[in-house]
Amino acid sequence: MDQDRPHTGSSGNFSGHVAGKRGLPACVENTARRATDRYKIRVNPLRIIESSRLPGFFFCTGSSSRNYSRSQTGTVLVMVLWVLSLLTLLGGYFAFDARIRRNLGQNALTDLKGREMVRSLLLTLSTRLAPRGIDKSDALEQGLFVVDGTLYSVTIGGENLSFLLQDENGKLDLNKSSETDIRDAVRGLLGKYSLEKADTVVDGLLDWKDRDKLVRLNGAEDDVYQDRMPPYYPANAPFRMVDELLLVNGVDREIFFGPVRWSPADAEYGEDNGEAEWLGGLRDLFTVYNRSGKVMAENAPLPLRELLSRKGGEGTSRYGVVLLKVWIDNRFYQVYWRPGRGKKKFAVIHWKEGGFTHAPGNPT
């Protein structure tokens, strides 16, 4: 009786197939009949259903074709995922490359606009410099710019910029000024902190530019600079630019760039009264463009002005090299230039971009 009952286990689902006489699928009975005719043995159709190894079962139920189709589908899915991954990587690379190129182009355009704005400002300043000795309020009424470090604000091409002008003849020349003046200026700026520190800076400065290998009391020569990383040698030659001071023994960025607090009370008593009248660094006191070596006290920074008032200042009546400092957004420009005459409005001596970006004080 059990042999005649159809098997309904997990061997397969025969819904949709035509049933035979005994309620079995017609394909199962046909398979049993073909096996009996071929192998001369009687095959029970129920055994075909119970065995999953007979080809007739797979042929009848369609499981073989379904398994093969599923295998193909999995392979295609993996290939599609790989292709999508590669396309994603390629898309990300080209997007990153395009962003870099856009930023480079934007930076180049911004730099070009900034330089042209500074050149436009130079053309304006070359015809609007206030003569020496003029009162600042009178110069402002006449639309003239005073070369004394006053901070101005103007608009050029729709862009706001701040700038100031410094007379290089109002600074001590690192190559032309006397050792006494240099030492007095550095001691006046740093003396309230440490006279030893000030003497280290001065002796290092003098040893840097002299041509011998003799070391001053607080100076430095080859052995000191060779111990640094990376090692280097002192120039043993005149300074070519003020930034060279950063290489001198004893000079750090705080002393060079500032802000170092200074007031007349500090210079006289060596005490910090908490109310600094001047904030600056060594770069604001020294230059390499004062060829005469004589300081124009009228346009000198406050510490030098105080020093010269005690010594009796001296200077020239004509502008030499003028330093223009310009701030445009987060960009900073320094231009050393000489006012010209006639058709030649000005001559650029040294152009520098970068560095500290914040304009001091409130612009006029």
| Amino acid 54: pLDDT | 45
| Amino acid 89: pLDDT | 94
Q: What's domain 152-353's superfamily in CATH?
A: EpsJ-like (1.10.40.60)
- What residue ranges of the chain are covered by domains with CATH 1.10.40.60? 152-353
Chain position carrying tokens 């500074």? 118
| Amino acid 6: pLDDT | 45
| Amino acid 194: pLDDT | 84
| Amino acid 99: pLDDT | 94
**Which residues, in sequence order, are CB contacts of 278 under 8 Å at separation 6+?**
261, 262, 263, 301, 302, 303
Count the neighbouring beta carbons within 10 Å of the beta carbon of residue 36: 13
Residue 40 — φ and ψ, nearest 5°?
Answer: 60, 35
Asked if residues 129 and 144 have their Cβ atoms less than 8 Å apart, the reply is yes
**pLDDT tens track, the chain, 364 positions:** 444 444 444 444 444 444 444 556 666 677 777 777 766 666 666 665 565 444 444 445 554 445 555 566 678 888 889 999 999 999 999 999 999 999 999 999 989 999 999 999 999 998 899 888 788 888 888 989 999 888 999 998 888 899 999 999 999 999 999 999 999 999 988 877 888 999 999 999 999 999 998 999 999 999 999 999 999 999 999 999 999 999 999 999 999 988 888 877 655 544 555 555 788 899 999 999 998 878 888 888 888 888 777 665 555 556 789 999 999 988 899 999 998 776 778 899 999 998 655 566 555 5
* Angle (CA) 242 246 248, round 5°: 100
**Interval 215-229: pLDDT, tens:** 999 999 999 999 999
Q: DSSP string of 9-63?
A: STT---TTSPB-TTSSBHHHHHHHHHHHHHHSS---HHHHHH-SSSHHHHHHH-H
**Interval 71-82: pLDDT, tens:** 666 788 888 899
**Interval 146-185: pLDDT, tens:** 998 889 999 988 888 999 999 999 999 999 999 999 999 9
| Amino acid 3: pLDDT | 46
Closest to 258 in 3D by CA, of 199, 207, 299, 303: 303
In total, the chain counts a number of residues equal to 364
| Amino acid 10: pLDDT | 42
- Percentage with pLDDT > 90 across the chain: 45
How far is the C-alpha of 272 from the C-alpha of 262, rounded, in Å? 8
